[in-house]
């Protein structure tokens, strides 16, 4: 056994610019297998941009992203899915005219695991989609579209799962349920980055958080400690007042 956990993902000094604006401004952090890392920060702090860079939607303008010790910054999303990185979207984007089952089958076919059997029935049952399996995605509620997005990502059998505000819009019972499922996934060895504004949810599931502001990390550690740091408190209060 090695004394240090293996680093599955290493983000180092990543910069992402939109015109002259630095959405990410030297972001660095790492994630290990089986770890649930929270990525928190006020609106516009760069959380989704970080997920977009790690999942290959955008290439970083500077810095590096490595996965399983290989550089992957700027690699296309479909290649990253094959390597084992997949994500959900802040606003889910299933294929609306396809059924739930077909959406999951497409993900499986194009994903990392197309040569392995897909436990479709189990997945749909576990994520409360069995009764809508043959309905088009456009018929689903917002919460069902979110869980479908998660099941599509899981169907590709990722090693690193990026969840962008999966819990937003869920009721307390659904939050408890999805928190339990996320923890179970991590216990199986999956590394999970959770972007979320709901601090109770973050506290319930994360091992560690990165607090972001203006494209940078301003804190790394447990949420319990984060809330005692004046700069962190100020950033969140400032964000609320600005909203
Ligand atoms: N494609 C883009 N083009 C131009 N600006 C962008 C683009 N994507 C993000 N930005 C800007 O980058 C900044 C960071 O946005 P991002 O979506 O990463 O924030 P966030 O932390 O996810 O916010 P929220 O909590 O509201 O989802 C914002 O100012 C946003 O307007
Ligand atoms: Mg966002």
pLDDT, tens digit, 9 for 90 and up, residues 94-113: 999 999 999 999 999 888 66
How confident is the model over 201-220, as a mean pLDDT?
96
Decide which of 157, 177, 207 is a domain's last residue.
157
The structure tokens 């897909």 sit at: 118
CA-nearest residue, atom 1 of ligand 1: 18
Same domain, 152 and 164: no
Q: Which two tokens stand for residue 56?
A: 């290959």
> pLDDT exceeding 90 applies to what percent of the chain?
88
Mean pLDDT of 119-139: 96
With CA atoms as reference, report the closest residue to 210 among 56, 24, 80, 69: 24
Same domain, 196 and 129: no
Least confident of 37-46, 219-228, 230-239: 230-239
Residues 71 and 94 in one domain: no
**151 & 163 share domain:** no
Q: Is the CB of 84 under 6 A from ligand 1?
A: no
Confidence band of 118 (pLDDT split at 50, 70, 90): confident
pLDDT value at position 112? 65
Q: Does one domain contain both 163 and 150? A: no
With a 6 Å cutoff on the Cβ, whether 43 touches ligand 1 is yes
- Express each pLDDT in 47-101 by its tens digit: 999 999 999 999 999 999 999 999 999 999 999 999 999 999 999 989 999 999 9
- Atom 5, ligand 1: residue with shortest CA distance: 18
Token pair 């290989």 in the structure block, residue: 70
Confidence of residue 242 (pLDDT cuts 50, 70, 90): very low
Statement: residue 38 has pLDDT above 50: yes
Q: Is the CB of 108 under 6 A from ligand 1?
A: no
- Check pocket membership of 45 for ligand 1, CB cut-off 6 A: yes
* Residue 153 shares a structural domain with residue 218: no
- Residue 103 in domain: yes
Domain identity same for 92 and 69: no
Q: Which ligand is nearest to the CA of 44?
A: 1
| Distances in whole angstroms, Cα of residue 179 to Cα of each of 47, 136, 162, 175, 185 | 20, 26, 14, 6, 10
Q: What is the mean pLDDT of residues 172-181?
A: 96
Please work out whether the CB of residue 215 comes within 6 Å of at least one atom of ligand 1.
no
Residue 100 covered by a domain? yes
Higher-confidence residue: 119 or 205? 205
Ligand nearest to the CA of 20: 1
The pLDDT, as a whole number, for residue 4 is 62
- Domain match, 60 and 117 both: no
**Measured from the CA of 165, which atom of ligand 1 is nearest?**
27
Instruction: List the Cα angle 199/42/142 in 5-degree steps.
Output: 65
Helix (H, G, I), strand (E, B) or coil at 33: coil
Question: What per-residue confidence (pLDDT) applies to 12?
Answer: 98
Choose among 227, 228, 176: nearest CA to 201.
Answer: 176
Evaluate whether residue 36 is within a structural domain: yes
Q: Does the pLDDT at position 3 exceed 60?
A: no
Per the prediction, the chain carries an average pLDDT of 93
Question: Is residue 25 located within the same domain as residue 94?
Answer: no
Ligand 1 atom having least distance to the Cα of 45: 21
Query: Does position 5 have pLDDT exceeding 70, yes or no?
Result: no
pLDDT over 70 at 241, yes or no: no
**pLDDT at residue 115 tops 80:** no
Q: Indicate if 64 and 89 belong to the same structural domain.
A: no
Total domains, the chain = 2
Domain range holding 131? Answer: 85-157
- How far does the centroid of ligand 2 lie from the alpha carbon of residue 1, in Å? 37
């Amino acid at each position: 056994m090695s004394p240090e956990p293996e680093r599955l993902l290493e983000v180092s000094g990543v910069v992402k610019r939109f015109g002259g604006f630095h959405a990410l401004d030297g972001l660095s952090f790492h994630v290990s297998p089986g770890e649930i890392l929270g990525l928190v920060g006020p609106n516009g702090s760069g959380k989704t941009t970080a997920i977009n860079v790690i999942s290959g939607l955008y290439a970083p303008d500077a810095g590096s992203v490595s996965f399983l010790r290989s550089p992957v910054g700027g690699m296309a999303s479909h290649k990253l899915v094959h390597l084992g990185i997949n994500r959900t979207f802040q606003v889910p984007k299933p294929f609306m005219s396809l059924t739930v089952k077909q959406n999951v089958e497409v993900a499986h076919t194009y994903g990392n695991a197309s040569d392995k059997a897909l436990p479709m029935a189990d997945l749909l049952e576990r994520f409360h989609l069995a009764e809508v399996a043959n309905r088009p995605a456009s018929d689903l509620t917002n919460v069902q579209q979110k869980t479908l997005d998660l099941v599509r990502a899981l169907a590709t059998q990722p090693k690193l799962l990026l969840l962008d505000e999966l819990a937003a819009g869920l009721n307390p019972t659904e939050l408890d349920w999805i928190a339990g499922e996320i923890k179970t996934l991590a216990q199986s060895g999956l590394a999970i980055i959770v972007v979320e504004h709901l601090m109770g949810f973050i506290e319930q599931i994360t091992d560690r958080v990165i607090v972001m502001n203006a494209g940078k990390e301003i804190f790394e550690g447990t949420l319990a400690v984060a809330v005692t740091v004046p700069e962190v408190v100020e950033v969140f209060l400032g964000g609320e007042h600005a909203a």
